[in-house]
Amino acid sequence: MVWLKSAGIFLYFALATMWLPSWLLTGPLRMSDPLIQDIGAVGTWGVALLFGMWALRNAQRRGLI
């Protein structure tokens, strides 16, 4: 069961911190000003990273991981 938890954690961080900001830059924010693109990508990356770290800590406290 450990491999499944590890794969889930890896997939979350891969999708949330790599794929989602990249998708935003090539999709909805493609024609935006470069400053808006930077803010959108870094903001999305930061929120996803902080949420993932919070979720990991919360799961650790509950004894789930």
The tens digit of pLDDT for each residue in 8-38 reads 999 999 999 999 999 999 999 999 999 999 9
pLDDT surpasses 90 at 65: no
What is the percent of the chain where pLDDT is above 90? 89
Identify whether the C-beta of residue 10 lies closer than 8 Å to the C-beta of residue 30. no
Buried b (16+ CB within 10 A) or exposed e, 41-57: beebbeebeeeeeeeee
pLDDT surpasses 90 at 1: no
With 0.95 as the threshold, say if the pTM is over it: no
CB count, 10 Å around CB of 29?
Answer: 19
